[in-house]
Amino acid sequence: MPVAVSYPGVYIEEIPSGVRTITGVATSIAAFIGWAAKGPTDHAELILSWSDFERQFGGLDVNSLLGYGVYQFFLNGGQQCYVIRLVGAGNAPATVTLADLVLSAANPGLWGNDYAITILARTDDPTRFRVAVVYKPGTPQEATVETFENLSMTSTDSRFVKLVINEDSTILAADTTGTTQPSDTGSPQPLTGGLDGTVLQPDTAGFETALVPGGGTGGVFLLDHVDLFNLLCVPGETTATVLASLEKYCHDHRAFLIADCDSDASFSSVQGGPPTQLTGVDGLNAAFYFPWLNAPDPMQENRLRAFPPCGFIAGIYARTDSSRGVWKAPAGTEASVTGAASVVVPLTDKENGVLNPQAINCVRNFPVYGIVAWGARTLNGNDQIGSEWKYIPVRRMALFLEESLYRGTKWVVFEPNDEPLWAQIRLNLGAFMQGLFRQGAFQGKTPQEAYFVKCDKETTTQNDINLGIVNILVGFAPLKPAEFVIIQIQQMAGQIAT
């Protein structure tokens, strides 16, 4: 606001520049969903490394493809992901009752039966006590993994047990039936009754019901509470109707689905194209990969086992985004697969030529380059569809722009809707687009050829202003991958020099 003048002299007034920097969002935060024997079941857990997954979800499990998918994601360049644990019927947390205190494992599963509780009362204050959580008591692996000091059974006390032991711990207080303080236990008291329940396998009714439950709660819908995710992987799930539901979810959340083919898919079984349920309007936010990959299984003495491609491919997406940008196709000789020994179905160039026009992205094994992703089409990438979202990098670049601009223009809400605001919008969005242009994100030799930002009285009419609307028009010339390289050779022998 203007400076209030009262005396003769010089006044200093600071004027805001109007520059509000727009920061590009992350592009390769993956979400993995599947059955695990351990881990939270009521929210999507952020995982920043393979060690994180081992600690939270128990690592590899021969009964589930989830852990392998996450492992292959990090192995191929992934940086962060969310994990949603699905559980089947009959699961239960391990528990132990000590006086009026009932302690249970933080989440269901047999894993809780490996723990025990030791309680020690304070000699100077009998109303307070310590709880220690012991792992595998009486074995060489015995270790105290958590301790909680100065606890109380009085609900008004600041160290009331329910407030101290929470869901971030291995053990939580499930119930207090009174105020009687548990006495010293001496030896560790084991938790018992932990059950894994039914082991859920992809492509089964139980798994799919847990994955996409009715009512819109649990399963994939736990991602509603995540700030941002870009890639969705459900290792081994291939049922077309379920994948179609996941496609729609991704379309509604500006994310991208990496879909697996059937585990026993062959060239003849897929040459008719992906399931038609996947090639509709939501197919622009998904890609389909074939075939599965053979990789050593550490849980079976490193014998080769077939794995779905989505974990490997999600890691390649992340690696490509980091090294080249989201506008670069996650395919080609740089898109090498780490951790795989071979492809289940080797393909020739001619076979690849049959599948590629039908929007099936092949994973190939070449003599020099090894195993690489050799396709970059969305599920709207069939040549007969003629979609503008034919290519993965084009669609993912648009999703990146949409999310970045959505988050970067919230300051506009409730600002005076007139030319000064429009000028600030053009300045800030233009600076963001110019930064991408300088990184090589668009076609064109000049900014005018590469992008435009329009916000003025032509895009926002007086009627729009009366309705409280400001319209911003952003256009960009996407980079499209050189999918076919044609080299023309001409013989010059015998030509006369001039």
User: Three-state SS for 105?
Assistant: strand
Q: Decide if 460 is inside a domain.
A: yes
Q: What is the pLDDT of residues 435-482, one digit of tens each?
A: 999 999 999 999 999 999 999 999 999 999 999 999 999 999 999 998
Q: What is the pLDDT of residues 16-51, one digit of tens each?
A: 777 888 999 999 999 999 999 999 999 999 999 999
- How is the beta sheet containing 303-307 ordered, strand by strand? 303-307, 293-297, 342-343
Using only C-alpha atoms, what is the Rg of the chain? 29
Q: Decide if 400 is inside a domain.
A: no
Give the model's pLDDT for residue 360: 97
Section 137-150 average pLDDT: 92
| Nearest Cα to Cα of residue 134 among 124, 123, 121, 147 | 147
Q: Decide if 398 is inside a domain.
A: no
Q: What is the pLDDT of residues 157-194, one digit of tens each?
A: 888 887 776 666 788 777 788 888 888 888 999 999 99
Q: Do residues 217 and 348 share a domain?
A: yes
Q: Do residues 83 and 117 share a domain?
A: no
Q: Do residues 329 and 210 share a domain?
A: yes
141 Cβ neighbours under 8 A, 6+ residues apart: 135
Q: Do residues 454 and 480 share a domain?
A: yes
Pick the last residue of a domain from 146, 164, 190: 190
3-state helix, strand, coil in the chain (%, to 5): 30, 20, 50
Domain span holding position 125: 95-190
Taking CA 208 as the corner, what is the angle to CA 36 and CA 268, rounded to the nearest 5 degrees? 105
Q: Decide if 153 is inside a domain.
A: yes
**Cβ 361 vs Cβ 278: under 8 Å:** no
Pick the last residue of a domain from 128, 158, 190: 190
pLDDT band at 127 (very low <50, low <70, confident <90, very high): confident
Q: Do residues 356 and 326 share a domain?
A: yes
**Cβ 289 vs Cβ 260: under 8 Å:** yes
Q: Decide if 2 is inside a domain.
A: yes
Q: Do residues 360 and 457 share a domain?
A: no
Kindly report the number of other CB atoms within 10 A of residue 204's CB atom.
15
Helices (H) and strands (E) counted in the chain, each on its own, are: 12, 20
Q: Do residues 261 and 380 share a domain?
A: yes
Q: What is the pLDDT of residues 394-412, one digit of tens each?
A: 999 999 999 999 999 999 9
Q: Do residues 249 and 339 share a domain?
A: yes
Residue 202: cis peptide before it, omega within 30 degrees of 0: no
CA distance 59 to 53: 6
Kindly report the number of other CB atoms within 10 A of residue 193's CB atom.
15
Q: Do residues 282 and 205 share a domain?
A: yes
Q: What is the pLDDT of residues 205-234, one digit of tens each?
A: 999 999 999 888 999 999 999 999 999 999
DSSP 341-384: -EESS---HHHHHHHGGGT-EEEEEETTTEEEEE--B-TT--TT
State the amino acid at position 230 in one-letter form: N
pLDDT score of 1 more than 60 = no
Task: Report how many domains make up the chain.
Answer: 3
DSSP 215-277: TS-SGGGGGGGSS---EEE-TT---HHHHHHHHHHHHHTT-EEEEEPPTT--HHHHTT-S-GG
Question: pTM surpassing 0.75?
Answer: yes
| Nearest Cα to Cα of residue 210 among 317, 66, 103, 70 | 66
Query: Is 208 buried (19+), middle (13-18) or exposed (0-12) by CB count in 10 A?
Result: buried
Query: Is 428 buried (19+), middle (13-18) or exposed (0-12) by CB count in 10 A?
Result: buried
- Please give the DSSP secondary-structure letter assigned to residue 33: E
Pick the last residue of a domain from 393, 428, 454: 393
HSE-CB of 312 using CA atoms within 13 angstroms:
28
Q: Which two tokens stand for residue 257?
A: 């689905």
Cα 209 to chain centroid distance, Å, stands at: 21
78 Cβ neighbours under 8 A, 6+ residues apart: 28, 30, 314, 315, 318, 319
Write the CATH number for 186.
Answer: 2.60.40
**Cβ 121 vs Cβ 132: under 8 Å:** no
CA distance 77 to 87: 28
**Cβ 404 vs Cβ 18: under 8 Å:** no
Task: Output the CA torsion sign for 15, 18, 19, 25.
Answer: positive
Q: Do residues 83 and 36 share a domain?
A: yes
> Considering only 246-250, 387-391, 484-488, which range has the smallest mean pLDDT?
484-488
Give the model's pLDDT for residue 90: 96
Q: Do residues 237 and 378 share a domain?
A: yes
Give the model's pLDDT for residue 124: 86
Write the CATH number for 36.
Answer: 3.40.50
Regarding predicted confidence, which is higher, 310 or 179?
310
Q: Decide if 411 is inside a domain.
A: no
Tokens 């994948």 appear where? 243
Q: Decide if 454 is inside a domain.
A: yes
Q: Do residues 341 and 453 share a domain?
A: no
